[in-house]
């Protein structure tokens, strides 16, 4: 085979090493499809790590489920907060920037994550002894 196709690339831990070996050392054409960000617009998997290896990159978009504009983001229809929640259109919807920012699910999830990080960082703060 001369061409290797990888779908759902965000779930492969060895994506960078595999693509590098297959393309650079084995002479294969590697076509990769996957998400570069999660529903909170954070890096998802190692898809972004392979961009410097690529001969070309095409970023595809959907249409916003609410207004029909180009949808660069994914919003959840549920209040689940785990990063990897495998589901379809019953849980996820493509949205434009405005409808992403206005999403109550995203706003609440971001608040919960920020609060948990604050609690974790507060728990690790040790008092500094003062010399008298």
Catalytic residues: 8
- What percent helix, strand, coil does the chain show, rounded to 5? 35, 15, 50
CA distance 47 to 82: 19
For 86, the token pair is: 């495998």
If we measure between CA atoms, which residue out of 37, 98, 35, 34 comes closest to residue 66? Answer: 98
- 3-state SS, residue 8: coil
């Amino acid at each position: 085979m001369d061409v290797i196709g990888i779908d759902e690339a965000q779930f492969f831990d060895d994506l960078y090493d595999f693509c590098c070996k297959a393309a650079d050392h084995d002479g294969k054409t590697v076509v990769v499809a996957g998400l570069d960000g999660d529903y909170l617009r954070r890096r998802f998997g190692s898809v972004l790590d392979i961009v410097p290896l690529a001969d070309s990159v095409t970023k595809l978009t959907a249409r916003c489920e609410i207004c029909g504009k180009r949808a660069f983001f994914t919003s959840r229809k549920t209040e689940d907060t785990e990063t990897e929640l495998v589901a379809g259109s019953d849980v996820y919807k493509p949205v434009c920037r405005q409808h992403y920012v206005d999403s109550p699910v995203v706003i609440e999830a971001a608040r919960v994550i920020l609060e948990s990080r604050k609690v974790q960082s507060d728990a690790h703060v040790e008092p500094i002894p003062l010399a008298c």
